[in-house]
Amino acid sequence: MNFTKPQTLKTISEIIGAKMIGDENFPVLGTNEIHRVKSGEIVFVNHPKYYDKALNSAATIILIDKEVDCPEGKALLVSDDPFRDFNKINTHFRRIYSFTEELHDLEVGDGTKIHPSAVIGNEVKIGKNCLIFPNVVIGDGTIIGDNVIIQSGTVLGGDAFYYRKLDGNFDRLISVGNVIIGNNVEIGNNCTIDRGVTDSTIIGEGSVLDNQIQIGHDTIIGKRCMIASLVGIAGCCILEDEVTVWGQVGMASGVRVASGTVLLGKTGVNKDLKKGTYFGPLAENFKDYLKKEIKIKNLK
């Protein structure tokens, strides 16, 4: 999430009541999760297992729960609860209205047709010659390109499924990101595409999605991908261009699938995949899978 104007380390420190380590005038440009964070942004970390990853990431401000040596050229915000304070920073600088107020600021391109039953949030941009079918829900900040078709019952911009366990209950990381749909995309009935926590969930130009597909927060779908029904893609995944995903595929969080890859039906993806055709509960090369099945069959 980019701030509308740069802030200082001192300003952020005062908002959350955290100890700052670094120049009080150190510039802060926004917040982000570690997989998308850039220079000038804050990332949070609240477990020693991930300290090194956060401290050595592209982030230049680390919101952390323990005072540690500060890397050169960076700054620290030391908090007793970085998860809570990350939420506090995000909601201070960006509010998600979630259809509770009639503010809108809607932009719609020429030739676009929106069914009257569609529900649209605030600061939404829809391009030219789009078709928005009945009962579509479009959340705050969504950006839709030209020549896009969104069929009935689909939800763009729901909250990320991102929680921690706190005092026996689930505590949500509040989503302040958005969804971006490229030109010439088609999305089927009853799909759900969650907005990013602090960045964008992106569906690339020319991609087509069947019915009943779930795409998690901050996931990036490349150009001209084809995804069949009942696919579940977790948050923070990257599908490069021209990937084909057949029905009931499940993908774990944070995996990357190379351009031109084919995932056959019911494949489970729990690791990064190079270009190829994959199948099986733990994705493996389809030819290798068939050879293994033949060997097993011949043992009988």
Please report, for the domain that includes residue 41, its CATH number.
Answer: 3.40.1390.10
pLDDT at 199: 96
Both 115 and 234 in one domain: the answer is: yes
pLDDT at 292: 84
pLDDT at 287: 87
- For the chain, residues with pLDDT lower than 70 are 300
- To which residue do tokens 């993908």 refer? 251
pLDDT at 83: 97
- Residue tagged active-site, from 35, 47, 104, 217: 217
Q: Which of 93, 120, 142 is the last residue of a domain?
A: 93
**Hey, what amino acid is at 263?**
L
Q: Which of 93, 124, 145 is the last residue of a domain?
A: 93
Alpha carbons 55 and 295: distance in angstroms, whole number: 48
| Residue 44 within a domain | yes
Both 177 and 271 in one domain: the answer is: yes
* Active-site residue, 217 included: yes
pLDDT at 192: 98
**What is the 3 state secondary structure string of 236-282?**
CCEECCCCEECCCCEECCCCEECCCCEECCCCEECCCECCCEEECCC
State the residue range of the domain holding 52.
2-93
Alpha carbons 194 and 202: distance in angstroms, whole number: 10
Put simply, whether the predicted model's pTM sits higher than 0.85 gets the answer yes
pLDDT at 92: 96
CA 241 to chain centre: 17
Both 139 and 269 in one domain: the answer is: yes
pLDDT at 63: 98
Alpha carbons 7 and 152: distance in angstroms, whole number: 42
Long-range contacts of 160-166 (CB under 8 A, 24+ apart): 160/194, 160/195, 160/196, 160/197, 160/216, 160/217, 160/218, 160/235, 161/194, 161/216, 161/217, 161/235, 162/197, 162/217, 162/235, 164/83
**Hey, what amino acid is at 73?**
G
Q: Select from 141, 148, 67 the least CA-distant residue to 111.
A: 148
Residue 200 contacts residue 193 (beta carbons within 8 Å):
no
| Residue 295 within a domain | no
Phi, psi of 256 (to 5 degrees): -125, 135
pLDDT at 300: 64
Both 81 and 136 in one domain: the answer is: no
| Residue 297 within a domain | no
Report the number of distinct structural domains present in the chain: 2
Both 121 and 248 in one domain: the answer is: yes
Residue 285 contacts residue 277 (beta carbons within 8 Å):
yes
107-108/125-126 β-pairing: parallel
Torsion, CA 32, CA 37, CA 38, CA 41, rounded to 10:
30
Strands laid side by side in the 250-251 sheet: 119-120, 137-138, 155-158, 192-194, 214-215, 232-233, 250-251, 268-269
